[in-house]
């Protein structure tokens, strides 16, 4: 299969690995001043190479054309120094998609930037802010032979909100200020809020200063909606006040609640992937409005697995006040089974 | 012998005895009934251990019966059951199929060639396939068979093929097997017949399972089996149940019953060996088939499907299920390869067969026949063929649309071709007419051509005209009327042609055909659309939008977006205006529908529209419209991004290719959460908000009170009555009486359900096991699977689900080798086996393998072997290994005789747990039992883990106590460095370690040992060397072989075969030859004892000085005697005398000996006589004694009796 441009780079490589189809990507930033693959993408390819066996990668001189022939997912113990241009979340999102289909359970130690404004954060062993990084994450995942069909159609009502306000290499007071401002908004909806403050010191605080807030709303039916905001990296852009940050984050969470669904907007694609790779049964998931990333992902799923989702819009009722429109995604799984796992 | 009739016992009916008994009976019934109570000791616990054991055993047996519950994925209308009739040649396979077909359909089929599909019952269809005596066909058919009829010649007994086939079946999931014994009429003797039957039955049972069905066909009547017996067999087949097999439920497959070459004749003319595009037809089985998937055709290779489309069922089940049996019209038969359904395949031509006997019937029953007929002209050009097929297809489609509200895919294919013309002609009636006329003309022409050609052929073949061909000719002649009829229908079809790429518009047009005024309106609408007026009316049925329309829509969207920037609405909600448009359009449609509601086609449209409304723009947003997708497909998918282009808003278009790869979804214009109304919009998402009616705590409480409200307080005597909601409702009742009843009913139902749930939870679910839960879950899933897409139109459904099993599909495959077409033989099965994701790749497979116990040779590593794995048959080079206790995979030179071993091959990636079998050749029969090995795939990898034992040998060249310098093991210092610290050993068992490399000679090193070495010792280092598996993957292309030579495929030869064929004798290594062992005699030095020690020794141990005997002294030497002549004479005389004496003596002794022998003989004789005499005498005396005794006994008895 052939693609153009570096958009959805991860999706393409991950789906190619899962489906076993080789991929050729042309014109990667060919019109750019700095053409070719960036360092973080190269680092991502290296990570893929580490968790697979028999992968063939060919990149041309300028890095504008990539040929990727996937091998078998191997797993095992992996240690990877992630590039600091993107946070570990960038790499981890892809690993999350691959991890259940490995030969041996994955135990990955990723080192690099744990929190930055573009990618999802991760809970950590050591925190490391952009731009210098220095954080560390341990990710383990067991392997499965096949996935069960997913049925997530009832998000339920939110019963509690939890969160973590973190600060590294700045005053520990920052976290408290964030918490106060966030609570000021959220308290109007629900009283059960608890936001931890997490101030890391010394070796576990990484190399750059920064702070941020992660909020998670948990519903009665056990679904989670998350939101997070991280301060801008040191020396890039305007500095942020912790109060503003807390308020923004709380509003983001409310936005997420408004969108609703059983999965929050960043993880839509993951849940859709697991639906696709299930057995040949009908899976259903209720999502909020599809993010552009998810839309791209759906198209890629169709290209790689020939699976189309039935997309039904659910409008909120007249008197209900449950936020915006929801989307009910339905599909029949591809009947995928983990061909990497050994049987004895 | 005879028994005396005895008087029976008379029970007393009255009197004290009877009373007593009655009393006892009355009392005794109770305890007697319960054994445990009556005899408690017998049931008491004797041994706790034994009790535990029995309990465990019963539990074990119980759990063994469980199978892992699977989701039931059988389709509602299952594909025909594949019945493979298998047996050695001349056993009666074709006869049996013919008889069965006659039994089911009352039709006679002369030549069984290719699969034959029939309707056998109200819910079942059968596809009969004859398996010829070729291991390739046997393997392929075992993979697709649902039922195997295994024919056995009883007069001969079992043949090897039967067992081979059974073993093949066993490996690829055991289908149902039914044995059929034929040739039973050859037995003259009844006893031998029954004996043979029994013998064969028991052998069959050991192979299949105890009690497997074996059917007896006793004899032939007029070349057919007896009707009653065939009928019975048919009944068995039609009630048989089948179990799902893992491989087949997870892979789609098609047993092709029709093949067509679609290649451009011009290309073939230019290059007869060019790759062909072929379409294959057949029922889809197994699981969902996706478009553009990879398939494997066993015997040909891997191909990617260019296009899949579903056709109307050529052999449909009866639509209305009645109680009675099928009528004649419903007993359909479809066998295009055998010439039924319109075609007869000949070597160089295809004849159209139309039996004139019941022509009127056929027209009614199968329009598909016409379809088939028109689709295939022998040597008509492809275009003509296509055109012809299209016309008939659309005609067919039209009828189908009316009847079934579904559209065959073929229509789409036609659209692709005629799309451009169509676009031009959309709005004008005349153009349409013209088009149609043209088409019709073309068709007519082509038909005429066909006729002519056929005539020509007839002329050419004049000499060899057979009756069959005559029949064909007449058939062809009779075939003419229906064609004409088609032509008559053309004006009716017009609207179907006047049609764009979308199904919806098509149906719209259908309406328009019926209502002219409406049509005009629509035309006006369309014109408006063309002019690019505000799309308020135009965007109507959204799915039908072509790309321009989409663009318009998008522009409109963006416009509204821009307009509504300040508003709070998100991007999604900005779509609303368009939906409203649709709504209005829908209303319009409904108005139109009001005109002629009866029209079914319109209803179909309506249903379709409704569906489209349910899934409006999101689908389009994500996937683009269906039409566009097709366009893309036809554009050879070089621009996959292309379909995104159309729908994407302008701004994202710019950054599309190189956008930031981030999963975050930042809101464009987020809500202002400080405002109260915005905040209240998500109020209900929290537990603090309002709950739904059925989950609200207040209502739940109320309902509970209704259920359990009635109770009496015993202490106070107060009676609480439940407040029924009826009162409240009763007040409202006058307003909506009808509704009220409904509500009441629902409420009661709800109440009941709740009560039942509660009851279940209390009593039933208590002992519900995990297994039960799992089963229930599966059941639910199966139900959901069935329901989810039930009411969706097939055209759309196929896109979501893929083509579901049971559909009759047409699969187009490009780039097939030309031999597939030129050497096509319908007697060999063509199977399209779908491959899962990444099953088209090649890698290393680790498998568990065992040599088949009936194969008479063990297998050698690196000898090529033909494997049947998954759908595939391929030749590969396996390496055998065995797993050591530490997990090391050690290479074996040969497979073990009676044990499993591992094997690694380079082959197609196949899921673990898939079984395989191996044969050494597929051409000819060389081995007595061809299946060499069987096994299962364990693991897939891209690297190999097999190692081979390697011994490095070195020799000491200098020895210092326990340290030695060793040379000859390595060649360089570097090599030594690699092995520093490795343990080494001498042949005599002295262990040691490599220490360090020496500078000279290169490769020598210093090593230490636990003991001092000798210069004659050999030092060796045990190590493991990774073995590499040769990357040979050679699919068996038996279907590409010329007709008649299909079973002669030969791949790579083994080394042994090569040497044999080329006459090369192996020159063995001289060192490896066995020679007689010649041991050198060892000489030992004499024992030397020091003088001092000698002195100290006791005499006993002192070495005896055995000095050599010296020369005898002269005085001791005896002088020689020289005799005088007289003395000589005396001596000679004495000599003579003594010899005479000796002779005499000897003679006397011999005589004496003979005499003695004689004497002994006589003595023996006498003795024997004496013995005889003695015996007789003894006998006499004993007899006398016995008589005496008898007499005595008699007398005593007499005396005794007298005494009594």
DSSP B1148-1172: HHHHHHHHHHHHHHHHHHHHHHHHH
Chain A contact for B291, CB < 8 A? yes
Token pair for B976: 């030594």
Q: What is the pLDDT of residue B407?
A: 29
Q: What is the per-residue burial (b if ≥16 Cβ within 10 Å, else e) of B95-134?
A: bbbbbbbbbbbeeebebbbbbbbbbbbbebbbbbbbbbbb
Q: Count residue pairs from A and B with Cβ separation < 8 A.
A: 241
Taking the alpha carbons at both ends of chain A, their separation in whole angstroms is 35
What span, in angstroms and rounded, lies between the C-alpha atoms of A134 and B271?
65
Nearest CA in chain B to A9: B661
Q: What is the mean pLDDT of residues B50-54?
A: 92
Nearest residue to A102 via CA among A132, A126, A131, A71: A71
Among B930, B921, B922, smallest CA distance to B1057 is for B921
Residues A304, A305, A308, A313: what is their CA dihedral angle, to the nearest 10 degrees?
-80
Residue B28's pLDDT band (cuts 50, 70, 90): low
What residues form DSSP beta bridges with B935? B849, B916
Q: What pLDDT is attached to residue B510?
A: 42
H/E stretch holding B643 reads: helix B642-647
Instruction: State pLDDT tens for residues B609-638.
Output: 555 444 456 677 777 654 344 333 333 333
Q: Do B661 and A8 touch (CB under 8 A)?
A: yes
A131 cis-preceded (ω within 30 degrees of 0): yes
- Residue A224: the pLDDT is 86
Taking only the tens place, the pLDDT of each residue in B803-845 is: 888 888 889 998 899 999 998 888 899 999 999 888 888 889 9
Give B837→chain A minimum CA distance, Å: 5
Categorize the per-residue pLDDT at B403 as very low, low, confident or very high, splitting at 50, 70 and 90.
very low
Stretch B140-152: mean pLDDT: 92
Calpha distance A57→A54 (Å, rounded): 10
Mean pLDDT confidence for B585-592: 43
Q: Averaging pLDDT over each range in B4-18, B264-278, B554-568, B712-726, which range is the top one?
A: B264-278
Under an 8 A CB cutoff, do B662 and A322 touch?
Answer: no
* Helix ranges restricted to H, B34-157: 35-38, 40-43, 48-64, 93-105, 135-144
Judged against a pLDDT cut of 60, whether residue B1131 lies above it is answered with yes
Task: Name the nearest CA neighbour of A113 among A86, A94, A79.
Answer: A86
> Complex ipTM, two decimals?
0.86
Say if residue B875's pLDDT is above 90: yes
Judging contacts by C-beta atoms under 8 Å, the chain B residues touching residue A218 are: none
Q: Give ∠ CA B889-B895-B900 in degrees, rounded to 5.
A: 70
CB contact under 8 A, A306 and B662: no
From A305's Cα to the closest Cα of chain B, the distance in A is: 7
Write down the H helix ranges in chain A. Answer: 9-19, 39-51, 88-98, 173-186, 242-259, 268-276, 292-305
Q: Say how many C-beta atoms besides its own lie within 10 A of residue B776's C-beta.
A: 12
Q: Does B683 reach chain A within 8 Å, measured CB to CB? A: yes
Could you give the percent of chain B with pLDDT greater than 70?
66
pLDDT score at B720: 54
Query: What is the rounded distance in angstroms from the CA atom of residue B257 to the CA atom of residue B809?
Result: 11
B170-184, B304-318, B491-505, B515-529, range with the lowest pLDDT:
B491-505
Instruction: Tell me: pLDDT of B892 over 50.
Output: yes
Which of helix, strand or coil describes residue B797? helix
Of the residues A52, A161, A217, A254, the best mutation for testing chain B's interface (the one with the most B CB atoms within 10 Å of its CB) is: A254
Place of tokens 């109060």: A243
Flag the least confident range among A146-150, A317-321, B567-571, B1141-1145. Answer: B567-571
Q: Which candidate from B673, B684, B911 shows the least CB-CB separation from A339?
A: B911
Tokens 């991929």 -> residue: A23
8 A C-beta contact, residue B1046 and residue B134 = yes
Backbone angles phi and psi of A214, in degrees to 5: -120, 130
Once rounded to an integer, what is the mean pLDDT over residues B1139-1147? 97
The pLDDT of residue B493: 36
Check if the beta carbon of residue A249 is closer than 8 Å to that of residue A265: no
Residue B358 · residue B478 · CB < 8 Å: no
**Binary contact (B686, A27; C-beta < 8 A):** no
- pLDDT at position B581 is 44
User: What are the distances in angstroms from CA B170 to CA B143, B210, B495, B912?
Assistant: 10, 15, 55, 17
- Which residues, at least 6 apart from A167, have a Cβ–Cβ distance to it below 8 Å? A174, A175, A178, A197, A198, A199, A200, A210, A211, A212
Joined together, the tokens standing for residue B875 give: 């030749």
Of B664, B682, B837, the CB nearest to A258: B682
At residue A317, the pLDDT reads 65
**pLDDT for position B530:** 41
Out of B206-215, B227-236, B701-710, B1061-1070, which region has the weakest mean confidence (pLDDT)?
Answer: B701-710
| B1030–chain A nearest CA distance, Å | 16
pLDDT in tens, A136-148: 888 888 888 888 8
- Interface contact flag, B291 A327, Cβ < 8 Å: no
Q: Coil, strand or helix: which one is B414? A: helix
Of B670, B784, B802, the CB nearest to A306: B802
DSSP class of residue A146 equals: B
What element of type H or E holds B202?
helix B190-207
pLDDT digit string, tens, across residues B98-143: 899 888 888 888 778 889 988 888 888 899 999 988 899 999 999 9
Range ranked top by mean pLDDT from A318-322, B29-33, B613-617: A318-322
B:761-790 residues touching chain A, CB 8 A cutoff:
781, 784-785, 788-789
Average pLDDT, chain B: 73
Cα of A204 to nearest chain B Cα, Å = 27
User: Given this model, what pLDDT does residue B111 score?
Assistant: 79
Q: What is the pLDDT of residue B624?
A: 67
**Chain B contact probe: residue of A1, A2, A7 with most B CBs at under 10 A:** A7
For residues B1141 and B1149, what is the distance between their CA atoms, to the nearest angstrom? 12
Rounded to whole angstroms, how far apart are CA atoms B851 and B719? 83
Report the range of poorest mean pLDDT among B211-220, B268-277, B558-567: B558-567
Which residues fall within 8 angstroms of residue A146, CB to CB, at 6 or more apart? A278, A279, A336, A337, A338
Cross-chain residue pair B784–A282, CB shorter than 8 Å: yes
For tokens 């040929």, the residue is: A67
> Which residues fall within 8 angstroms of residue B872, CB to CB, at 6 or more apart?
B296, B298, B833, B908, B1035
Residue B1128 has pLDDT above 90, yes or no: yes
Cβ partners under 8 Å of residue A250, min gap 6: A181, A182, A183, A184, A185, A186, A215, B673
Sequence-ordered alpha helix ranges (H) in B951-1088: 973-978, 1055-1062
pLDDT in tens, B472-498: 443 334 333 333 333 333 333 333 333
C-alpha–C-alpha distance, residues A257 and B909, integer Å: 45
CB B410 within 8 A of CB B311: yes
Asked whether the predicted pLDDT for residue B582 surpasses 60, the reply is no
B1031 phi and psi angles, rounded to 5 deg: -90, 70
Suggest the residue from A298, A322, A329, A330 to mutate for an interface test with chain B (most B CBs closer than 10 A): A322
pLDDT in tens, B527-573: 444 444 343 333 333 333 333 333 444 444 444 434 444 333 334 33
| In the predicted structure, residue B640 carries a pLDDT above the cut 70 | no
Helix, strand, or coil (residue B607): helix
The answer to whether residue B945 neighbours chain A at the CB level (below 8 Å) is no
Give the pLDDT of residue B1063: 92
The answer to whether B157 faces chain A, any CB pair under 8 Å, is no
Residue showing tokens 């039904």: A312
Question: If you measure CA to CA, which chain B residue comes closest to A307?
Answer: B800
* CB spacing of B912 vs A305 below 8 angstroms: no
Of B64-78, B176-190, B1153-1167, the poorest mean pLDDT is in: B64-78
Alpha carbon separation from B1159 to B524, B1149, B1167, B1168, B1171 (Å, rounded):
148, 15, 12, 14, 18
Question: Of all helices (H) and strands (E), which one includes residue A163?
Answer: strand A158-168
**pLDDT top residue among B513 and B31:** B31
| Cα–Cα distance measured from residue B721 to residue B65, given in angstroms and rounded to the nearest whole number | 52
- Separation CA B851–CA B900 (nearest Å): 8
- Closest residue in B to A6 (Cα) is B658
DSSP string, A9-40: HHHHHHHHHHHT--EEEE-TTTTSSS-S--HH
Mean pLDDT, range B718-737, rounded to an integer: 47
Among the listed residues B908, B840, B900, the one whose alpha carbon sits nearest the alpha carbon of residue B873: B908
Contact A308/A332 with Cβ under 8 angstroms?
Answer: no
Handedness of CA A187, A191, A193, A197 (dihedral sign): positive
Can you name the residues that pair with B1020 across neighbouring β-strands? B953, B985
A-proximal residues of B, 819-858, CB under 8 Å:
836-841, 843
Q: Which residues of B touch A332 (CB under 8 A)?
A: 288, 785, 788, 800-802
User: Does residue B1087 surpass a pLDDT of 60?
Assistant: yes
Structure tokens at B229: 């017996």
Burial profile B4-18: b = 16 or more Cβ within 10 angstroms, e = fewer:
eeeeeeeeeeeeeee
Cβ contact, residue pair B941, A72, below 8 Å: yes
pLDDT value of residue B704 = 63
DSSP B125-194: EEEEEEPPS-HHHHHHHHHH-SEEEEEEETTT---HHHHHHHHHHHHT---EEEEEEE-GGG---HHHHH
Question: Does B686 contact chain A (CB < 8 Å)?
Answer: yes
pLDDT confidence of residue B765? 56
The reply to whether residue A29 touches residue B684, judged by beta carbons under 8 angstroms, is: no
Contacts for B1045 with CB less than 8 Å, ≥ 6 apart: none
The contacts of residue A21 (CB under 8 Å, 6+ apart) are A1, A70, A304, B837, B838
Which tops the pLDDT comparison, B286 or B927? Answer: B286
Q: List the beta bridge partners of residue A160.
A: A218
**A327 vs B contacts (CB less than 8 Å):** 618
Highest mean pLDDT of the ranges A196-200, B248-252, B427-431, B1186-1190 = B1186-1190
Per-residue model confidence (pLDDT) at position B1148: 97
Give per-residue pLDDT as tens, B672-691.
767 777 777 777 777 776 66
Give A-chain residues touching B684 at CB under 8 angstroms: 157, 320-322
B424-433 pLDDT tens trace: 333 333 333 3
Beta-bridge partner residues of A211: A167
């Amino acid at each position: 299969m052939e693609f153009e441009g570096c958009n959805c780079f991860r999706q393409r490589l991950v789906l190619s690995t899962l489906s076993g189809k080789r991929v050729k990507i042309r014109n990667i930033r060919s019109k750019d001043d700095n053409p070719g693959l960036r360092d973080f993408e190269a680092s991502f390819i290296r990570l893929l190479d580490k968790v697979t066996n028999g992968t063939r990668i060919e990149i041309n001189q300028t890095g504008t054309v990539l040929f990727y022939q996937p091998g078998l997912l191997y797993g095992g113990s992996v240690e990877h120094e992630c590039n600091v241009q993107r946070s570990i979340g960038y790499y981890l999102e892809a690993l999350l998609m691959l991890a259940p289909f490995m030969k041996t359970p994955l135990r990955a130690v990723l080192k690099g930037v744990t929190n930055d404004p573009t990618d999802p954060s991760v809970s950590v062993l050591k925190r490391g802010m952009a731009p210098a990084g220095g954080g560390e994450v341990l990710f383990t995942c067991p392997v499965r032979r096949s996935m069960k069909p997913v049925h997530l159609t009832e998000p339920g009502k939110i019963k509690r909100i939890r969160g973590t306000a973190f600060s590294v290499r700045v005053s520990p007071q920052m976290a408290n200020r964030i918490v106060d401002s966030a609570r000021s908004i959220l308290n109007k909806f629900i009283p059960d809020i608890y936001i931890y403050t997490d101030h890391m010191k010394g070796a576990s605080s990484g190399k750059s200063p920064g702070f941020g807030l992660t909020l998670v709303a948990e519903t009665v039916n056990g679904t989670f909606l998350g939101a997070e905001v991280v301060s801008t990296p040191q020396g890039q852009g305007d500095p942020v006040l912790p109060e503003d940050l807390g308020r923004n984050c709380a509003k983001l969470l409310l936005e997420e609640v408004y969108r609703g669904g059983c999965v929050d907007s960043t993880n839509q694609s993951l849940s859709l992937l697991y639906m696709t790779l299930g057995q040949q049964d009908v899976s259903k998931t209720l999502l909020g409005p599809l993010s552009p990333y998810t839309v791209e992902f759906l198209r890629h799923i169709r290209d790689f697995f020939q699976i189309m989702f039935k997309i039904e819009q659910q409008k909120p009722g007249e008197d209900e006040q449950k936020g915006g429109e929801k989307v009910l995604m339905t599909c029949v799984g591809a009947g995928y089974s983990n061909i990497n796992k050994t049987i004895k | 012998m005879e028994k005396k009739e005895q008087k029976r016992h008379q029970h007393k009916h009255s009197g004290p005895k009877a009373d007593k008994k009655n009393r006892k009976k009355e009392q005794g019934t109770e305890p007697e009934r319960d054994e445990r109570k009556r005899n408690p000791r017998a049931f008491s616990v004797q041994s706790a251990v034994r009790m535990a054991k029995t309990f465990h055993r019963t539990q074990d047996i119980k759990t063994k019966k469980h199978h892992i519950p699977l989701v039931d994925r059988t389709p509602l209308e299952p594909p025909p059951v594949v019945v493979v009739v298998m047996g050695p040649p001349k056993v009666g396979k074709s006869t049996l199929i013919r008889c069965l077909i006659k039994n089911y359909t009352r039709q006679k089929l002369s030549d069984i060639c290719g699969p034959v599909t029939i309707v056998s019952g109200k819910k079942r269809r059968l596809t009969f396939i004859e398996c010829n005596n070729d291991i390739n066909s046997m393997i392929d058919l075992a993979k697709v068979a649902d039922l195997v009829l295994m024919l056995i010649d009883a007069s001969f007994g079992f043949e090897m093929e039967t067992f081979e086939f059974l073993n093949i079946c066993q490996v690829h999931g055991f289908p149902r097997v039914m044995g059929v014994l034929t040739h039973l009429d050859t037995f003259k003797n009844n006893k031998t017949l029954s004996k043979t039957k029994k013998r064969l039955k028991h052998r069959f049972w050991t192979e299949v399972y105890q009690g497997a069905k074996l059917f007896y066909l006793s004899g032939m009547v007029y070349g057919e089996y007896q009707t009653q017996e065939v009928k019975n067999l048919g009944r068995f087949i039609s009630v048989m149940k089948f179990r799902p097999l893992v491989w087949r439920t997870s892979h789609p497959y098609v047993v092709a019953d029709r093949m067509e070459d679609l290649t451009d004749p011009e290309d073939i003319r230019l290059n007869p060996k060019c790759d062909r595009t072929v379409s294959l037809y057949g029922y889809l089985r197994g699981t969902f088939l996706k478009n553009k998937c990879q398939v494997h055709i066993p015997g040909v290779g891997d191909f990617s499907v260019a296009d899949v489309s579903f056709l109307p069922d050529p052999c449909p089940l009866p639509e209305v299920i009645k109680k009675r049996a099928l009528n004649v019209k419903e007993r359909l038969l479809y066998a295009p390869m055998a010439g039924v359904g319109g075609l007869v395949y000949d070597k160089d031509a295809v004849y159209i067969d139309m039996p004139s006997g019941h022509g009127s019937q056929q027209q009614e029953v199968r329009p598909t026949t016409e379809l088939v007929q028109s689709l295939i002209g022998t040597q008509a050009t492809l275009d003509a063929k296509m055109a012809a097929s299209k016309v008939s297809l659309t005609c067919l489609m039209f009828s189908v649309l009316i009847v079934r509200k579904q559209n065959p895919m073929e229509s789409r294919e036609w659209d692709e071709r005629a799309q451009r013309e169509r676009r031009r002609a959309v709005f004008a009636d005349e153009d349409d007419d013209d088009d149609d006329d043209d088409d019709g003309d073309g068709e007519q022409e082509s038909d005429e051509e066909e006729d002519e050609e056929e005539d020509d052929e007839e002329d050419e073949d004049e000499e060899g005209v057979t009756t069959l061909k005559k029949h064909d000719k007449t058939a062809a002649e009779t075939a003419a009327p229906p064609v004409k009829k088609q032509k008559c229908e053309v004006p009716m079809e017009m609207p179907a042609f006047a049609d764009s790429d979308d199904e919806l518009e098509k149906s719209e047009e259908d309406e328009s055909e019926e209502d002219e005024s409406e049509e005009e309106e629509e035309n006006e609408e369309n014109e408006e659309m063309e002019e690019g007026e505000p799309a308020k009316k135009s965007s109507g049925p959204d799915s039908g939008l072509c790309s321009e329309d989409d663009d318009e829509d998008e522009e409109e969207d963006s416009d509204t977006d821009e307009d509504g920037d300040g508003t709070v609405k998100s991007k999604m909600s900005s779509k609303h205006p368009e939906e409203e448009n649709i709504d209005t359009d829908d209303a319009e449609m409904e108005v139109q529908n009001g005109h002629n509601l009866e029209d079914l086609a319109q209803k179909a449209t309506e249903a379709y529209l409704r569906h489209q409304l349910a899934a409006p723009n999101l689908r389009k947003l994500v996937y683009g419209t269906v039409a566009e997708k097709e366009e893309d497909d036809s554009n050879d998918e070089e621009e996959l991004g292309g379909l995104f282009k159309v729908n994407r808003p302008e701004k994202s278009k710019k950054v599309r290719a190189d956008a930031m790869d981030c999963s975050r979804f930042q809101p464009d214009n987020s809500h202002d959460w400080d405002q109260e109304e915005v905040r209240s919009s998500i109020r209900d998402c929290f537990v603090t908000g309002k709950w739904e009616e059925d989950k609200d705590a207040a209502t739940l409480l109320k309902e509970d009170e209704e259920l359990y409200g009635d109770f009496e307080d015993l202490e106070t005597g107060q009676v609480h009555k439940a407040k029924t909601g009826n009162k409240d409702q009763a007040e409202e009742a006058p307003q909506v009486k009808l509704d009220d009843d409904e509500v009441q009913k629902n409420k009661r139902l709800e109440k009941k359900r709740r009560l039942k749930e509660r009851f279940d939870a209390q009593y039933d679910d208590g002992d519900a096991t995990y297994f039960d839960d799992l089963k229930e879950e599966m059941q639910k899933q199966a139900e959901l699977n069935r329901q989810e897409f039930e009411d969706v139109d097939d055209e759309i459904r196929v896109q979501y689900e893929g083509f579901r099993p049971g559909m009759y599909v047409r699969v187009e495959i490009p780039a097939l080798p030309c031999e597939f077409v030129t050497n096509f033989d319908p007697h060999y099965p063509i199977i399209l086996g779908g491959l899962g994701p990444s099953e088209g790749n090649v890698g290393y497979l680790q498998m568990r393998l065992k040599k088949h116990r009936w194969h008479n040779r063990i297998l050698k590593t690196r000898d090529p072997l033909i494997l049947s794995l998954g759908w595939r048959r391929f030749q590969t080079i396996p390496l055998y290994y065995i797993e050591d206790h530490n997990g090391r995979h050690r290479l074996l030179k040969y497979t073990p005789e009676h044990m499993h071993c591992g094997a690694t091959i380079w082959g197609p990636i196949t899921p673990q747990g898939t079984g395989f079998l191996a044969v050494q050749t597929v051409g000819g029969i060389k081995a007595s039992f061809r299946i060499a090995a069987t096994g299962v795939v364990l693991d897939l990898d891209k690297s190999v883990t097999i190692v081979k034992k390697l011994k490095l040998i070195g020799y000491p060249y200098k020895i210092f106590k326990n340290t030695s310098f060793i040379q000859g093991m390595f060649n360089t210092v570097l090599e030594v460095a690699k092995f520093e610290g490795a343990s080494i050993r001498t042949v005599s068992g002295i262990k040691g370690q490599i220490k360090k490399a020496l500078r000279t000679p290169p490769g020598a090193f210093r090593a230490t040992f636990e003991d001092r070495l000798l210069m004659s010792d050999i030092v060796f280092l045990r190590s493991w060397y990774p073995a590499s598996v040769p990357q040979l993957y050679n699919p068996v292309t038996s279907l590409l072989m010329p007709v008649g030579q299909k079973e002669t495929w030969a791949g790579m030869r083994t080394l042994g075969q090569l040497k044999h064929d080329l006459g090369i004798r192996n020159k063995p290594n001289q060192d490896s030859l066995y020679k007689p062992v010649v041991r050198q005699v060892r000489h030992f030095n004499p024992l030397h004892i020091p003088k001092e020690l000698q002195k100290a020794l006791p005499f006993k141990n002192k070495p005896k000085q055995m000095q050599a005997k010296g020369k005898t002294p002269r005085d001791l030497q005896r002088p020689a005697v020289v005799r005088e002549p007289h003395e000589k004479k005396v001596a000679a005389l004495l000599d003579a005398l003594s010899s005479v004496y000796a002779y005499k003596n000897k003679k006397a002794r011999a005589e004496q000996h003979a005499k003695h022998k004689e004497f002994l003989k006589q003595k023996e004789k006498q003795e024997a006589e004496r013995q005889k005499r003695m015996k007789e005498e003894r006998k006499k005396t004993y007899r006398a004694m016995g008589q005496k005794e008898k007499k005595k006994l008699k007398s005593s008895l007499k005396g005794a009796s007298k005494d009594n």
